[in-house]
Amino acid sequence: MFSLMANCCNWLKRWRQPARKITLVMVGLDNAGKTATVRGIQGESPEDVAPTVGFSKVDLKQGKFEVTIFDLGGGKKIRGIWKNYYSESYGVVFVVDSSDVQRIQETRDTMAEVLRHPRISGKPVLVLANKQDRDGALAEADIIENLSLEKLVNENKCLCQIEPCSAVLGYGKKGDKSIRNGLNWLLNNIAKDYEAISERVRKDTAEQRAQEEQEKRERQERRVRRIREVRRRRRGEEEER
């Protein structure tokens, strides 16, 4: 009887707990299928997706989690903004185009740069080996080898799961189960260390904001100095006349 009451109390306590808020960054080279993946998770058609310029933000409910995903553009010129989102991320989704063998080295170098960043290192990483429906797509073992994935995640102390998938084969409940399984893996592993990751996110976010404020002040100071220098030169020119 007491055991039954205790179980009921525990269930009620878990039921009343607020949903855990989690932010994820989704990265990868341009044309890897990041936006198609996000749309499929949302239950929207992943077909006819335009390349992401900059970023897009998606909010969704996944079980007991309220998830925000930043889908970051993968072009070379835009990858520099990725680091601006690392501090608030609880984990990473890295999407790989399994069929683009010509860019596998670029993918590896980009992934290494992401995982080595001090605001990402140690956080769980889901690798989606996308476009498995295409001819010539690399198998899971080949992707692991070509990306030196085991070495990268061990060096940077990141829990990692790789899921071969195809984002365009369906969406919502009819979407690729590997994508849903991978996302569940990522969220569950974040939940296991939620408090520690949350504290790290709070600290990193505060440090980044302080850094941005400092850079803003320095830009303003440089601007003021330039204005004063222009005014000084003009006064000098007027005096010479």
**Which parts are annotated binding residues?**
28-35, 52, 74, 130-133
Give the start-end residues of each E strand in the chain. 20-27, 55-62, 65-72, 91-97, 125-130, 160-164
Binding residues for GTP: 28-35, 74, 130-133
Neighbours of 102 (CB within 10 A): 8
Decide: 160 and 141 in contact? Cβ < 8 Å.
no
Spatial separation of the C-alpha atoms in residues 176 and 69, rounded to whole Å: 18
Spatial separation of the C-alpha atoms in residues 167 and 21, rounded to whole Å: 25
Spatial separation of the C-alpha atoms in residues 167 and 37, rounded to whole Å: 5
Decide: 59 and 67 in contact? Cβ < 8 Å.
yes
Q: Which of 228, 190, 172 lies closest to 91, judged by CA?
A: 190
Vertex 230 angle, CA 226 and 231, to 5°: 115
Binding residues for Mg(2+): 35, 52
